[in-house]
Amino acid sequence: MPTWAFRATSRSGQPVNPITKPPTDEITVYSEDDLNRRLATAETDPRDIEVEIRRLSD
């Protein structure tokens, strides 16, 4: 099963992670459905989110 590194950065400088408060955060995504959901959410996020995705495994 493929996995991806999903990095989100707020272009406005607002926190992406509400707990640690950085404007950039990265997580590992374990399913294509979850990856697609996160991409769709980032498109409409008011913080102007920039997304970088790296495939970690096949």
Task: List pLDDT tens digits, range 8-44.
Answer: 999 999 999 989 999 999 999 999 999 999 999 999 9
Q: Which residues pair with 24 in a beta bridge?
A: 9
The Cα 9–Cα 24 span in angstroms is 4
pLDDT at 26: 97
Domain of residue 12, residue span: 3-57
pLDDT band at 1; cut points 50, 70, 90 = confident
Report the chain's terminal Cα–Cα distance, integer Å: 6
When divided into structural domains, the chain yields a total of 1
